[in-house]
Amino acid sequence: MKEILPDGAREVSGRLEIGGLLAGELADRYGTPLIVVDRPTFEARANAYAAALGADHVFYAAKAFCCVALCEALAELGLGIDVCTGGELETAMAAGFPPERILFHGNNKSFEELRRAQEVGVGRIVVDSLDELDRIEEVGVTSKLLLRVTPGVEAHTHEFVQTGQEDSKFGFGLGDDVALQALGHALALEGSKVVGIHAHIGSQIFEMSAFDLAVKRLAAFLARARDELGFTATELNLGGGLGIAHNEDEMTPDPIGSWDLIRAAVEREFKDNGLEVPELFAEPGRSIVGSSAVTLYRVGTIKRIPGVRTYVSVDGGMSDNIRPALYGARYEAFLADRMDAPKGPRVTLSGKHCESGDVLIHDVHLPDDIAVGDLLCVPATGAYTYSMASNYNRVPRPAVVMVSGGTANEIVARETDADLFHLDRHLDGSAIT
Binding site for ligand LLP (CB under 6 A): 61, 63-64, 82, 105, 161, 163, 200, 203-204, 239-241, 283-287, 323, 327, 383-384
Count of residues making up the chain: 433
The crossing angle, in degrees rounded to 10, of helices 178-188 and 209-229 is: 50
Q: Spell out the alpha helix ranges (H) of 189-239.
A: 209-229
**Residue of 67, 71, 354, 377 marked catalytic:** 354
Residue nearest to ligand LLP (CB): 240
Residue closest to 267 by CA, chosen among 312, 218, 225: 218
Residue 303 CB, nearest approach to ligand LLP (Å): 28
CB of 283 to ligand LLP, least distance (A): 4
* 284 vs 316, beta carbon nearer ligand LLP: 284
Give the shortest CB-391-to-ligand LLP separation in angstroms: 18
Q: What stretches of 156-203 adopt beta strand conformation (E)?
A: 172-173, 193-198
Q: How far is the CB of 327 from ligand LLP (least distance, A)?
A: 6
Q: Supply the minimum distance, in Å, between the C-beta of residue 89 and ligand LLP.
A: 15
Query: Rounded to 5 degrees, what are φ and ψ at 338?
Result: -140, 60
Radius of gyration of the chain (CA): 23
Specify whether the CB–CB gap between 148 and 170 falls below 8 A.
yes
| DSSP secondary structure of 326-383 | HH------EETT-TTSPP-SEEEEE-SSSSTT-EEEEEEE--TT--TT-EEEEES--S
Give 16 or 236: the residue with its C-beta nearer to ligand LLP.
Answer: 236
Using the CB atoms, write b or e for 380-393: b if 16+ within 10 Å.
Answer: bbbbbbbbbbeebe
Task: Give the residue with the Cβ less far from ligand LLP, 21 or 238.
Answer: 238
Which of 194, 366 has the CB closer to ligand LLP?
Answer: 194
The partner residues of 335 in beta bridges, in order of sequence, read: 376
- Cβ proximity to ligand LLP, 38 vs 128, nearer residue: 128
71 classed as catalytic? no
Please list the active-site residues: 354
